[in-house]
Structure 1
Amino acid sequence: MGRLGCSRTTRCTARHAEGFRSARRSLLPICAAVILAVAGAPSAEAQPTDYPSRLIQVYVPFAGGSASDVITRILLNRMATSLGQTFVVDNRPRAGGNIGTAAAAHAAPDGYTLLMSTSGPLAANKSLFRDLGYDPLKDLAPIGLFAVLPNVVVINSKLPPKSLRELIGYAKTHPKELNYGTVGVGSSQHLAGAYFEQLTGTELTHVSYRNITNYTPDFLSGQVPLGFQLLPNVIGLIRSGDARALAVASSKRMTALPGIPTAAEAGLPDYESSAWLALLAPANTNKAVIDKLYAAVVDAMNDPKVRTLFVEQGAEPLVLGPEELRNFMASESAKWAAIIRKIGIEPM
């Protein structure tokens, strides 16, 4: 009797177990679908209505204290007020700005990793490097251009030239003896120097620095006495009298240097070269996030204090929206590609 009872119980248990296994198998696809749906759902922090809910990292592909770094921090400080969130700058200099720009281009498109980059990594470098590791127009989402910095021709005050014409004459009688410093191949300073050589028929020697602060002592010592620099990099030298500004490579005089002639006024027509600064995000960043960031850029650039600080740093305030910036990047790439081919710089 006990054996029969045990047999029935075993058969019932087996049937219940098989039923449980069958039910579990039928539930597996449903559970998997629920898990995938939850995993694929955007997190609360990614929702544009909640953006930004935490600090925002901004890659700057140049050294701290450089012109682009200083001006970017002025912008971001004001944007932080509009957005109610902190910006953290991550300086990643090297390779003419390509390393930091590539890092940002391949970051998650969640609005919490942005990029401030310039005319080199976003335009000219396409013709200077065989492989950037990113495509400026495909891998980045433009937010807005916010500043233009004309290059300023400066020379150590101990050298004889006191005008641009005198500098050209001096360079022709001292071929390859005048060293000019830049923050790297493809930077606006480098292209300004190379373009100057092309237009004047002079031969200069390019000296590249990883950090612009290393350029200053060499300029003062006379080892690298020439520059086609952005004003923030040399404004202290000009004010102290150690550097002599000879001309501005723009169509009009700079607000911060009203007494310095344009290159055309100084006798070198068509010599125009400038850096421009823009804020971007990784491609596929939500458009609502882009629009919110651009609105913060506009708010900042409408602030008289920001515009004054820009001018003090040698930057001319200028705002272009996302689509305008995309078109501008494409036109700048074409412009510098033609100049680089004419100069004869081989891609690295």
Structure 2
Amino acid sequence: MPRFGRSNFTDITAPAAEGFRPDRRSLLSLGAGAFLAAGLRPTQAQDYPARPIQMLVPFAGGSASDVITRILLNRMSASVGQAFVVDNRPGAGGNIGTAAAAHAAPDGYTLLMSTSGPLAANKSLYKELPYDPLKDFAPIGLFATLPNVIVINSRLPPKSLPELIDYAKAHPRELNYGTVGVGSSQHLAAAYFEQLTGTELTHVPYRNIAAYTPDFIASQVPLGFQLLPNVIGLIKSGDARPLAVASDKRLTALPDVPTAAEAGLKEYESAAWLALLAPAGTGKAVIDKLYATMVEAANDPKVRALFVEQGAEPLVMDSQALKGFMTAETTKWAGIIKRIGIEPM
């Protein structure tokens, strides 16, 4: 991971005011008295936010989505004058943290950053979800996408996407690829790749990306359909060779790496997308204020540059567009998952 690894982030994204460094434990232990002191007037946008905001992130600290989210929140906190307290709650493909946000009070002080897995694909990957992505949330907006990048250990022969496909067909089930779990964007990107190319790969799920990296370097799990922040260090060190980007355009951070279509694999597009949401019932004034603050942050040239550096493409979508997009993505991945034959967990 480049300079935005977990060690470079505190658990609190503090506002720009000099000297403001609240203690994480004190922020997370705010009790009912603090809520009452704040007035519980979430719909009055002029008074909001009156205190720090908890942001649930359903993935591990230092993961791609966590890193990109913290970049955005750092800029948002400077605008609203309050800290965003990042609370990482990984597990069950993002379902644990996402469910916690769905059941939180709709007062504007507990928000969620979630992604394409918990908000779309998991609807088909799990027999039951402890939340309804479309009914239990008030969408705020989408702020970035992270296309999957096909990478292979540099010691292996394939130097292009067609060569990888030929190699995989000649060695069925011998190529191991790593992901952060069943149903993750990496897993679905790989399964979709198998479906389109007629290849057979072997899935090796990990609890977190840190465990995958040494096995990739050792060539035990030499293939990946990864988000760029997860493998940018491997690419820079020469351990990983990027073969293609699963997007309709090249990544700004990897201008010399072709898209899958350019490399000969049409229709292969797969990306994680990152969005902010609030519990259903949160006041429209609060949603509108958060969206405006998100747009301001996402359009900041410094934020956009940091996004690109991390392999993310800035993309803003408002609440109504996001809700329609979530519906379309749920339908898209339901069809792919059914054709792939993944049984619901």
Residue 39 of structure 2: aligned partner: 44
Q: Mapping of 1:286-305 within 5 angstroms? A: 286-305=283-302
Residue 153 of structure 1: aligned partner: 150
Residue 119 of structure 2: aligned partner: 122
Residue 339 of structure 1: aligned partner: 336
Quote the offset at 1:79 in angstroms: 0.4
3-state SS in 1 of match to 2:265? coil
The 3 A distance-change label for structure 1 pair 164 and 319 is: same
Quote the offset at 1:210 in angstroms: 1.7
Letter in 2 for 1:157: S
- Normalised TM-score (structure 1): 0.87
- Normalised TM-score (structure 2): 0.88
* Distance of 2:182 and 2:55 partners within structure 1: 23
Letter in 2 for 1:176: R
Q: Deviations over 1:170-219 (max 9, x none)?
A: 11111111111111121111100000000011111111122111111111
* Distance of 2:237 and 2:230 partners within structure 1: 13
5+ residue gaps, structure 2: 1-35
Quote the offset at 1:260 in angstroms: 0.2
1:270 equivalent to 2:281? Answer: no
Residue 198 of structure 1: aligned partner: 195
1:231 equivalent to 2:237? Answer: no
Residue 213 of structure 1: aligned partner: 210
* Distance of 1:185 and 1:125 partners within structure 2: 10
Contact 1:45–1:53, Cα closer than 8 Å, also in 2? no
Q: How many residues align?
A: 308
* Distance of 2:54 and 2:308 partners within structure 1: 26
1:72 equivalent to 2:69? Answer: yes
* Distance of 2:62 and 2:204 partners within structure 1: 19
Residue 311 of structure 1: aligned partner: 308
Q: Mapping of 1:232-271 within 5 angstroms? A: 232-271=229-268
* Distance of 2:187 and 2:315 partners within structure 1: 23
* Distance of 2:218 and 2:343 partners within structure 1: 31
Q: Which runs of 4+ in 1 moved over 3 A?
A: none
Query: 2:133 is matched with which residue: 133, 136, 146?
Result: 136
Contact 2:38–2:50, Cα closer than 8 Å, also in 1? no
Quote the offset at 1:43 in angstroms: 6.1
Q: Deviations over 1:47-77 (max 9, x none)?
A: 4231111111111111111100000000000
Alpha-carbon RMSD across the aligned residues, in angstroms, is: 1.2
The 3 A distance-change label for structure 1 pair 73 and 99 is: same
Contact 1:93–1:210, Cα closer than 8 Å, also in 2? no
3-state SS in 2 of match to 1:44? coil
Residue 324 of structure 2: aligned partner: 327
1:99 equivalent to 2:83? Answer: no
* Distance of 1:210 and 1:327 partners within structure 2: 31
* Distance of 1:193 and 1:238 partners within structure 2: 19
Letter in 1 for 2:140: I
3-state SS in 2 of match to 1:68? helix
Letter in 2 for 1:284: G
Q: What percentage of residue pairs aligned between the two structures are identical?
A: 78
Quote the offset at 1:42 in angstroms: 11
* Rg (Cα) greater in structure: 1
1:175 equivalent to 2:169? Answer: no
Q: Mapping of 1:85-96 within 5 angstroms? A: 85-96=82-93
Contact 2:55–2:86, Cα closer than 8 Å, also in 1? yes
* Distance of 2:282 and 2:158 partners within structure 1: 51
